[in-house]
Amino acid sequence: MIELSELIRELRQELNSAMADGQDEAVRFELGPVEVEATVAVDRAGSANGKVRFWVAEAGADASYTHAQTQRITLTLQPVLVAPGAVTGPVLIVGDEADGER
């Protein structure tokens, strides 16, 4: 399992890569809301005052574990491009389709 924060970090890197790939393309796409659905396990590290962490369960996780201790969540992320100088704008992406991408 990986932490939810790592999943979001990897997603951000993939979006940055797609933006860089399309930097010189004539046709670009504006990125709208990104919906991520994951099965997560919630864990409180340490004591009752410990940090709460969300772990993303893999698709092939043990059935008894996922049934007893996980929940399905959906996140809707609205990407915003923040350029140097705090100028914001829409995120434009383009690039070749990756294997298995829809």
Q: What is the pLDDT of residue 47?
A: 63
Q: How many CB atoms lie within 10 A of CB 4?
A: 19
Q: Tens digit of pLDDT for each residue in 47-66? A: 666 777 788 877 655 544 44
Structure tokens at 76: 């809707």
Pairing type for strands 92-93 and 52-56 reads: unpaired
Task: Single out the residue of 45, 50, 39 nearest to residue 1, CA to CA.
Answer: 39
Residues of the chain with pLDDT under 70: 45-49, 59-69, 83, 86-87, 89-90, 92-102
